[in-house]
């Protein structure tokens, strides 16, 4: 198992870093579970209804499927990647239809259940603000603004780069680092002096590929070893474990 970082390791040093880019679902808000349930409903319906075919795996969608093939990716990329893992080929219209149906399931759950921000993340943002570091939020979802509003965080982040921005700019999805690089550019910082915080395997892989100075993995699903293997410099169970060392320590 990946060792739990010590207090000295789980630190964002304001002399080394200028900004932090947070993923939304599972890092800032407790919406990863809502996404996971929507994906499970979608694929279980699809796989159950699809006629049996040689070389296709129609077994039920699992938590491991979510983490490996869907989490952190755009809706359509998630559909393509998961179906490919099961040996299933479909046309682009089917990909988009499935992705849009998943979005419907997610939005209905969000409306009925709401969401909340993780207290440890909110506390860390407060430390960043007090230390003069800037921060952004990214998401593969086009519903980022709605999720932030539902959690009461609509006015918190200096920069937001979401699925709508990715479509407008023609950005590739994770594990490509494009969305993180745009966030850093809009904050006016360099990747080497920027921290990425992610809970998805594709997300930490993107942070590493983008040359970011520190990649923190948030392990809410007992996959710390995989987060490390995909590029996380350190892994924590919650961002309450991370502290910010200001550029200048107050005199005692």
How does pLDDT run across 67-79, given as a tens digit for each residue? Answer: 899 988 888 999 9
**What pTM was computed for the model?**
0.79
Whole-number average pLDDT of the chain: 91
pLDDT classification of 6: cutoffs 50, 70, 90: very low
**Dist CA 33 CA 30 (whole Å):** 7
Q: What is the per-residue pLDDT across 178-231, written as a single tens digit (0 to 9) for each? A: 999 999 999 999 999 999 999 999 999 999 999 999 999 999 988 999 999 999
> Taking every pair of C-alpha atoms in the chain, what is the biggest distance, in angstroms?
72
The arithmetic mean of pLDDT across residues 120-146, rounded, is 94
The residues carrying an active-site annotation are 23, 25
The structural domains of the chain, ordered by start, are: 11-31+116-245 (3.40.50.1000), 33-113 (1.10.150)
SS3 per-residue string spanning the chain = CCCCCCCCCCEEECCCCCEEEEECECCCECCHHHHHHHHHHHHHHHHHHCCCCCCCCCCCCCHHHHHHHHCCCCHHHHHHHHHHHCCCCCCHHHHHHHHHHHHHHHHHHHHHHCCCECHHHHHHHHHHHHCCCEEEEECCCCCHHHHHHHCCCCCCCCEEECHHHHHHHCCCCCCCCHHHHHHHHHHCCCHHHEEEEECCHHHHHHHHHCCCCEEEEECCCCCHHHHHHHCCCEEECCHHHCEEECCCCCCC
Number of CB atoms found within 10 A of residue 84's CB? 12
2 vs 154, residue with greater confidence: 154
pLDDT of 249: 54
């Amino acid at each position: 198992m990946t060792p739990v970082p010590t207090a000295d390791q789980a630190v964002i040093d304001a002399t080394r870093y200028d900004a932090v880019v947070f993923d939304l679902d599972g890092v800032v808000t407790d919406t990863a579970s809502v996404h996971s349930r929507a994906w499970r409903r979608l694929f279980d319906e699809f796989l159950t209804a699809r006629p049996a075919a040689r070389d296709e795996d129609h077994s039920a969608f699992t938590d491991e499927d979510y983490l490996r093939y869907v989490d952190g990716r755009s809706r359509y990329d998630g559909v393509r990647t998961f179906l490919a893992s099961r040996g299933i080929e479909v046309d682009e219209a089917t990909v988009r239809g499935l992705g849009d149906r998943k979005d419907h399931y997610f939005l209905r759950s969000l409306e009925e259940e709401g969401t909340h921000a993780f207290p440890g993340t909110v506390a860390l943002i407060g430390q960043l603000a007090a230390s003069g570091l800037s921060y952004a939020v990214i998401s593969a979802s086009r519903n980022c603004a709605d999720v932030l509003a539902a959690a009461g965080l609509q006015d918190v982040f200096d920069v937001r780069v979401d699925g709508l921005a990715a479509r407008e700019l023609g950005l590739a999805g994770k594990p490509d680092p494009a969305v993180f690089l745009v966030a850093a550019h809009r904050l006016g910082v360099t990747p080497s002096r920027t921290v990425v915080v992610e809970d998805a395997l594709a997300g930490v892989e993107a942070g590493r590929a983008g040359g970011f100075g520190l990649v923190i993995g948030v392990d809410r699903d007992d996959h710390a070893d995989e987060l490390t293997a995909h590029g996380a410099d350190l892994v924590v169970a919650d961002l309450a474990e991370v502290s910010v060392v200001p550029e200048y320590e107050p005199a005692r």
